[in-house]
């Protein structure tokens, strides 16, 4: 049998399908947002920029805004960001918002500052960022505080920290090789799992424990990596929310920002931004699936067979200058073209 993708490539011209007709993504896409790391106090503009490039969620952190009066409490700072995100249409109520640098009571108190007429997403309090098994006592304490307050608790975490693992060199002392390390999953409700550590064992354990799984990429700006992560990888791995570190994080010695700050607003590091292209790729795949035709199912199966769930097909790419030698396992532009061709053929003329 000739692969459907090959037939489409041979017979399909460029599609005239309107991208505006694509469905809203059924999963969350957004950024870690840290107002304390922003040079300019342009929070509403930043949120509008995220929205305009396809994002539908974010994380918030209890910091003030540069050049604006400090709010009195952490709760007010969280509420400020959630209110603005809802007002500009960035915060889709389907997806929880992880709240950083706050305690459980702060998140509860933030609800008192919700502006009239706004529907907030669920707010989830953060536990220890990127925890490990040596922090079990604190993880337990934070979980108990959150649950007592009626909240879920979550954080960025490696998948193997959730499931547990066996120690290996060079990540342990020689005398500890082969020793088991217990998983910390029972202390976290929302697992925002590091890409490359999200596998079926993580999903199986999350299902058994009633946890929700997201994913995050903490990596400097790269159009191809961002597009892959938010597009075909997110489709194959299926995290509930997908996050990039970070929207703005430029400090001495590193720069993880996806935009360059200017007094007039953010400027994207690539045109078009890779993360926005990835979101569009995801929406194309979602629309093709929704056709529910044998042809659509065959094409999707062929695409998914070429996408590795272990994130980047050549491994976790560091340092960034090595990216030029890295290519995905499938041509992203070709997938987009073929998917749009299927959609155009199914659209009544």
pLDDT tens for each residue of 126-152: 999 999 999 999 999 999 999 999 999
Cβ distance 127 to 151 under 8 Å?
no
Q: How do residues 215-256 score in pLDDT, each as one tens digit? A: 999 988 889 889 999 999 999 999 999 999 999 999 888 899
Task: Tell whether 81 is covered by a domain.
Answer: yes
Strand partners, 99: 60, 125
Task: Tell whether 300 is covered by a domain.
Answer: yes
Q: What is the CATH number of the domain that holds 195?
A: 3.20.20
Q: Which helix (H) or strand (E) holds 145?
A: helix 136-148
Task: Tell whether 16 is covered by a domain.
Answer: no
Strand partners, 156: 192
Q: For residue 309, what are its two tokens? A: 């769930």
Q: What is the pLDDT of residue 70?
A: 76
Task: Tell whether 150 is covered by a domain.
Answer: yes
Q: What is the pLDDT of residue 303?
A: 96
Q: Show the domain range for 139.
A: 26-346
Q: What is the pLDDT of residue 11?
A: 45
User: Binning pLDDT at 50, 70 and 90, where does residue 328 land?
Assistant: confident
pTM of the model: 0.93
pLDDT over 70 percentage in the chain: 91
Cβ distance 51 to 89 under 8 Å?
yes
Q: How do residues 58-82 score in pLDDT, each as one tens digit? A: 999 999 988 777 777 999 999 999 9
Task: Tell whether 189 is covered by a domain.
Answer: yes
Task: Tell whether 68 is covered by a domain.
Answer: yes
Total domains in the chain come to: 1
Cβ distance 57 to 27 under 8 Å?
no
Q: What is the pLDDT of residue 16?
A: 76
Task: For residues 87-114, give the mean pLDDT.
Answer: 98
Task: Tell whether 98 is covered by a domain.
Answer: yes
- CA 85/CA 120 separation, integer angstroms: 9
Strand partners, 265: 262
């Amino acid at each position: 049998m000739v692969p459907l993708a090959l037939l489409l490539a041979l017979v399909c011209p460029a599609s005239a399908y309107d991208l505006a007709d694509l469905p809203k993504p059924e999963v969350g896409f957004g950024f870690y947002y840290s107002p304390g790391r922003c040079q300019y106090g342009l929070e509403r503009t930043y949120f509008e920029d995220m929205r305009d490039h396809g994002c539908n969620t974010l994380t918030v952190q209890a910091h003030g805004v540069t050049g604006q009066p400090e709010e009195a409490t952490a709760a007010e700072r969280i509420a400020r960001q959630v209110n603005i995100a809802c007002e500009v249409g960035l915060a889709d109520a389907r997806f929880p918002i992880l709240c950083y640098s706050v305690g459980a009571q702060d998140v509860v108190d933030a609800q008192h500052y919700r502006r009239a007429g706004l529907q907030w997403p669920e707010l989830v309090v953060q536990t220890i960022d990127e925890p490990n098994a040596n922090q079990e006592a604190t993880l337990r304490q934070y979980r108990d505080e959150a649950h007592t307050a009626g909240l879920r608790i979550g954080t960025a975490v490696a998948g193997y920290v959730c499931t547990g693992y066996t120690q290996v060199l060079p990540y342990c002392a020689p005398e500890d090789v082969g020793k088991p390390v217990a998983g910390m999953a029972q202390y976290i409700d929302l697992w925002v799992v590091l890409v490359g550590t999200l596998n079926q064992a993580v999903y199986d354990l999350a299902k058994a424990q009633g946890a929700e799984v997201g994913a995050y990429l903490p990596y400097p700006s790269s159009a191809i990596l961002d597009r892959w992560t938010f597009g075909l990888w997110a489709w194959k791995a299926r995290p509930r929310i997908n996050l990039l570190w970070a929207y703005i994080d430029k400090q001495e010695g590193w720069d993880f920002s996806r935009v360059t700050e200017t007094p007039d607003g953010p400027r994207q590091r690539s045109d078009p931004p890779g993360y926005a292209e990835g979101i569009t790729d995801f929406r194309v795949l979602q629309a093709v699936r929704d056709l529910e035709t044998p042809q659509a199912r065959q094409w999707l199966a062929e695409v998914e067979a070429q996408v590795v769930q272990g994130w980047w097909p050549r491994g976790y790419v560091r340092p960034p200058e090595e990216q030029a030698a890295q290519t995905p396992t499938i041509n992203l532009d070709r997938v987009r073209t073929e998917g749009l061709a299927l959609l155009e053929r199914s659209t009544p003329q």
